[in-house]
Amino acid sequence: MLAASLAGLALTLAVVGLYGVLSFGVAQRRREFGVRMTLGATPAGIRLLVLREGLVLTGSGTLLGLAGGSAILQTIDSLLFGTSATAIGPYLLAVAVVLACSTAAFWLPARRASGADPMVALRAE
């Protein structure tokens, strides 16, 4: 029960951190998004751009985590009782949960980026 609570807390902190990083990046690039929309980009295209950047960050972190986990597989296997560390199911479940939560965390900054006003961007330049 304690391990599940700590895992939930760690996931929450990770999602909030990802949201903060991407939201900060979107705020810094607001003019760029306005100029892109002036030149013909659609709001859906801007949302896709921001979501893609966020998922690249999440994917690279997930791959590094899986590589680190496989590197210490023997130690993990000796600490687990009643299960095997080589079972692929928990790893796939963890990746799916992280990707789903990170996509949810990236949705709000992506919506904010797609609402950039082109006239504000042009006036600022």
Joined together, the tokens standing for residue 87 give 């079972």
Packing angle of the helix pair 88-114, 2-28 (nearest 10 deg): 30
Cα–Cα distance list, 32 to 46, 58, 98, 115, 125 (Å):
10, 23, 29, 12, 10
**pLDDT for res 44:** 92
Alpha helices in the chain (DSSP H): 2-28, 30-38, 43-71, 73-79, 88-114, 118-124
Maximum Cα interatomic distance, the chain, rounded to a whole number of Å: 64
The tens digit of pLDDT for each residue in 18-35 reads 889 888 988 888 888 888
The tens digit of pLDDT for each residue in 74-84 reads 787 777 777 67
Residue the block writes with tokens 């999602």: 15
Q: Compute the mean pLDDT over every residue in the chain, rounded to the nearest whole number.
A: 85
Instruction: Locate the domains of the chain by residue range.
Output: 55-77+85-125
**pTM of the shown model:** 0.76
**φ/ψ (deg, to 5) at 35:** -65, -40
Q: Please, which pLDDT band fits residue 60 given cuts at 50, 70 and 90?
A: very high
